[in-house]
DNA sequence: AAAGTCTCCTTACGGTGTAAAGTGAGCGTA
DNA sequence: TACGCTCACTTTACACCGTAAGGAGACTTT
C-alpha cells in the first residue's frame, strides 16, 4: 500500500518535484508528453474515480498511451503520487493578510487546506511519514508559519502547534473525504447507509443502551439539527471541523496569555 | 484501496462484529477454524509486515490453509479488516478514573489510543468515513464520552470535541506510525534518509531561504534538542502529540470558563 | 547515408481479490 | 449400517496491478 522509493531514485524524484531539469539536447525522438500532463491526468483519474482506480495503465490510457510509456517520464508510481500531492497544493494561497491578526488568518488557512482535501480526497491517503518535500507543500507550511509567528510564541512551541494544525485538518477532512466517494461507488447514499446500519445495530446489539450509557445520553442531548438540503455526514463533519478548529485556536490563545 | 462492502453483506458483517452468531447444528464437516483465529492471524501479518502485505493468501498460509478457505468464515477482505480494526481496540480500557478530574483522564485516554495506534500502525489506514461500528470501537467512544461529560459542556459542543480528539490523535499518530515501517522496508534509517534528503534539497532548491523565510527562521529558532538515544522523527512526533494535546485541552478549558 | 539513442510498445512475471467448480469428510436419516 | 446431503476446503481461473526486459521505429547527430 505505502510504497517507498529506492534511494537511487530519490535524487531524480526531488529534481522532478522542483523542476530542476537539466536537459541537454539529445538525439532520438522528442518527448510527446510532459510530466505536467501526466500529473494532471493522474489527478483527474484520482479525483474522478478514487485512489484505488489510479493505475499506471489508467493514466496512460487517458493520454492515449500505454502504462509503460509513463516510465520514461517518471521513475515509478510512488514518485508520481508525490508529484500529484505537491501539485494539488499549488492552488492554495502563498500568504494570508495579517491585518486582522493571526486568528482569522489561521482560520482562513485551515479552511483553504480543508477545501483542498475535499476537492482531492486521495491526498489524505498519501503517507505523511516521509514527506516528499515539494515546493508547493513547503509553500503551505510557509504560509501557516508566517501566520503563527504573529502570536509571538516561542519557536519550539510554534513548531508543535503547526504540526497539530496539520494533523487536525487532515483528520477532520478524512471523515468526510471518503464519505463523498462511497455513495458514488456503492450507489447507496450516506443517509440510507447510516439509517440501515442503525436499524441493524439495534437488532444485533439489543443491550446497546446498557453497555454504552454515555453515548446514548450524548446522542439524546445533542441538539444538532440536520439541514436536510445537505448530506448529513458532511454537515456534521463540517461542524466538527469548525468547532474543533475554534477550540484548538482557543488553546493557542491560552498559551499566549500564559506566556505574557 | 478503500473498499466498501456490498449492501447484502452489511448484515453479516455486523453480526460478525457483535458475535451474534445464530448457529443451528448443520450436517457436514465441522469448522476447524474460528473467526477469532483468523482475525488474530491477520493482525499478526499486518503488525509484522504492514498493511501492504496483508493478503487473504498470506493469512490463510499462516493458518495452514489456502486463502480461499477464509471465505467460509468472512465475506471478504474488507470485512476482515473491519474485524481487525475493532479487535485491536479491545486492549484499551473501558473506563478511566475521574477522581482527579476530566483532564488527566482525557490525557490518559488519548495516550492509550496513541499507543494502540503505534502498536498497530495499519489501523490508521482503515477508512473512517463509514465506521464499522464494532463493540470495542464503541467502548473507546464510550470511555471518552464519559470523561468529557465531567466538563459540563453542552452535548452539541461535546460531540464535536470528541470528534476533534479522535482526529488529532489519529493525525499525530500517522506521522510516526509509517515512519516506523519505512526503515524496516527500505533498510535506510529515518535519520540517514532525512539528512540525505536535506543535502539534496539545498542543491535542487538553492533559493530555498528566499522562498520560505519563515520556515528557515523557525528552524533556526527551534530549540528542539535531539536525544540521540531515540529516533529523531519519532521523538519529534511524540513531542508534537504531547504539546498539541495540551493545547487542545487548554481550548476545552477555555470553553468551560466561557460557559460559566 | 550511417550510426546511435531515445520513445514507446509488446510481452512477461509474480502478485492481488475472489468467482466457480471440484473433492471429500462428516452428520442425519432410513 | 449405508445412503445421501451438506458443508469445509482446495484447485483452477479471471481480470487486474506495478514494472522488468526486450524489440521496433523515429529522430538527431555525425
Handedness of CA A60, A66, A67, A70 (dihedral sign): negative
Q: How confident is the model over A5-49, as pLDDT tens digits?
A: 445 577 888 999 998 766 666 777 788 899 999 999 999 999 999
* Residues, chain A: 260
Name the nucleotide with the smallest C1'–CA separation from B72: D8
Nearest to B16 by CA among B117, B135, B152: B135
Nearest to A164 by CA among B19, B173, B139: B173
3-state secondary structure of B199: helix
Q: Is the model's pLDDT at B92 over the cut of 70?
A: yes
Task: Give the pLDDT of residue B6.
Answer: 44
Q: Is the model's pLDDT at B7 over the cut of 80?
A: no
Residue B12's pLDDT band (cuts 50, 70, 90): confident
* Residues, chain B: 260
3-state secondary structure of A190: helix
Task: Give the pLDDT of residue B237.
Answer: 87
Instruction: Give phi and psi for A98, each to the nearest 5.
Output: -110, 10
Query: For chain B, what percent of residues have pLDDT higher than 70?
Result: 87
Nearest CA in chain A to B9: A197
Among A242-246, B204-208, B220-224, the minimum mean pLDDT is found in: B220-224
Task: Give the pLDDT of residue A10.
Answer: 77
Task: Give the pLDDT of residue B24.
Answer: 62
Among A73-82, B198-207, B225-234, the minimum mean pLDDT is found in: B225-234
Nearest to A164 by CA among B245, B36, B141: B245
- What span, in angstroms and rounded, lies between the C-alpha atoms of A121 and B85? 22
- What span, in angstroms and rounded, lies between the C-alpha atoms of A215 and A242? 22
CA A192 to chain centre: 26
Q: How confident is the model over B184-198, as pLDDT tens digits?
A: 555 566 667 777 788
Q: What's the rounded mean pLDDT across residues A226-255?
A: 88
Q: B103 or A227: which carries more pLDDT confidence?
A: B103
Nearest to B211 by CA among A141, A120, A214, A12: A141
Task: Give the pLDDT of residue B86.
Answer: 97
Is residue A114 within 8 A of residue A176, CB to CB? The reply is: no
Task: Give the pLDDT of residue A31.
Answer: 85
**Residue B216: Cβ within 10 Å count:** 15
Q: Which residues contact A64 (CB under 8 A, 6 or more apart)?
A: none
Task: Give the pLDDT of residue A140.
Answer: 97
Handedness of CA B170, B175, B178, B180 (dihedral sign): negative
Task: Give the pLDDT of residue B234.
Answer: 81
Q: What's the rounded mean pLDDT across residues B6-17?
A: 76
Q: What's the rounded mean pLDDT across residues B64-82?
A: 95
A55 Cβ within 7 A of any nucleic strand C atom:
no
Flag residues 143-182 of B with CB < 7 Å from strand C: none
Nearest to B47 by CA among B110, B116, B93: B116
Number of H helices, E strands in chain B: 11, 0
Task: Give the pLDDT of residue B42.
Answer: 98
Q: Is the model's pLDDT at B225 over the cut of 80?
A: no
Q: What's the rounded mean pLDDT across residues A150-174?
A: 94
Q: Is the model's pLDDT at A115 over the cut of 50?
A: yes
Q: What's the rounded mean pLDDT across residues A92-111?
A: 97
Flag residues 69-128 of A with CB < 7 Å from strand C: 69, 72-73
Among B residues 142-201, those touching chain A with beta carbons less than 8 Å apart: 142, 145-146, 149, 154-161, 163-164, 166-168, 170-172, 174-179, 181-182, 185-186, 188, 190, 193, 196-197, 200-201
Q: Cα torsion for A6, A12, A15, A16, to the nearest 10°?
A: -90
Task: Give the pLDDT of residue B82.
Answer: 96
- pTM equals 0.91
Task: Give the pLDDT of residue B239.
Answer: 92
Nearest to A125 by CA among A87, A82, A74, A71: A82
Task: Give the pLDDT of residue B28.
Answer: 67
Task: Give the pLDDT of residue A231.
Answer: 72
Among A24-38, A143-157, A244-258, B103-117, the minimum mean pLDDT is found in: A24-38
B216 Cβ within 7 A of any nucleic strand C atom:
no
Q: What's the rounded mean pLDDT across residues B132-160?
A: 95
Among A117-126, A223-232, B59-68, the minimum mean pLDDT is found in: A223-232
What's A66's DSSP letter?
A: -
Q: What's the rounded mean pLDDT across residues B14-28?
A: 76
Q: Which of A154, A163, A254 sits opposite B240 (nearest CB)?
A: A163
Are residues B18 and A204, on separate chains, in Cβ contact within 8 Å?
Answer: yes
CA B255 to chain centre: 27
Q: Is the model's pLDDT at B2 over the cut of 50?
A: no
Q: Is the model's pLDDT at B260 over the cut of 90?
A: no
> Would you tell me which residues have their CB within 7 A of strand D?
A 3, 25, 27-30, 53-58, 67-68, 71, 76-78; B 26-33, 60, 64-69, 71-73
Among A12-21, A71-80, A132-141, B114-123, the minimum mean pLDDT is found in: A12-21
Mean pLDDT score across all residues of chain B: 87
The 3-state secondary structure of B90-134, one letter per residue: HHCCCCCCCCCCHHHHHHHHHHHHHHHHHHCHHHHHCCCCCCCCC
Task: Give the pLDDT of residue A24.
Answer: 64
CA distance B64 to chain A (A): 25
Nearest to B88 by CA among B173, B157, B159: B173
Residue A148's pLDDT band (cuts 50, 70, 90): very high
3-state secondary structure of B33: coil
Amino acid at each position: 500500500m505505502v510504497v517507498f522509493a529506492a534511494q537511487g531514485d530519490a535524487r531524480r524524484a526531488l529534481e522532478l518535484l522542483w523542476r530542476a531539469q537539466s536537459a541537454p539536447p539529445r538525439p532520438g525522438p522528442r518527448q510527446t508528453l510532459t510530466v505536467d500532463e501526466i500529473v494532471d491526468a493522474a489527478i483527474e483519474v484520482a479525483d474522478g474515480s478514487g485512489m484505488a482506480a489510479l493505475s499506471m495503465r489508467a493514466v496512460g490510457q487517458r493520454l492515449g498511451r500505454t502504462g509503460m510509456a509513463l516510465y520514461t517520464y517518471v521513475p515509478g508510481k510512488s514518485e508520481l503520487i508525490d508529484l500529484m500531492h505537491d501539485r494539488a497544493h499549488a492552488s492554495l494561497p502563498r500568504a494570508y493578510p495579517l491585518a486582522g491578526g493571526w486568528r482569522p488568518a489561521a482560520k482562513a488557512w485551515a479552511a483553504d487546506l480543508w477545501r483542498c482535501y475535499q476537492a482531492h480526497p486521495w491526498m489524505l491517503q498519501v503517507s505523511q511519514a516521509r514527506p516528499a518535500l515539494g515546493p508547493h507543500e513547503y509553500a503551505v507550511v510557509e504560509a501557516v508559519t508566517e501566520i503563527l509567528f504573529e502570536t509571538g510564541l516561542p519557536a519550539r512551541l510554534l513548531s508543535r502547534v503547526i504540526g497539530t494544525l496539520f494533523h487536525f485538518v487532515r483528520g477532520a477532512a478524512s471523515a468526510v473525504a471518503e464519505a463523498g466517494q462511497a455513495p458514488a461507488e456503492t450507489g447507496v447514499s450516506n443517509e440510507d447507509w447510516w439509517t440501515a446500519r442503525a436499524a441493524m445495530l439495534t437488532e444485533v446489539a439489543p443491550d446497546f443502551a446498557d453497555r454504552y450509557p454515555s453515548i446514548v445520553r450524548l446522542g439524546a442531548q445533542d441538539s444538532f439539527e440536520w439541514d436536510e438540503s445537505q448530506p448529513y455526514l458532511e454537515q456534521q463533519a463540517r461542524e466538527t471541523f469548525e468547532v474543533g478548529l475554534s477550540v484548538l485556536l482557543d488553546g493557542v490563545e491560552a498559551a499566549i496569555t500564559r506566556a505574557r
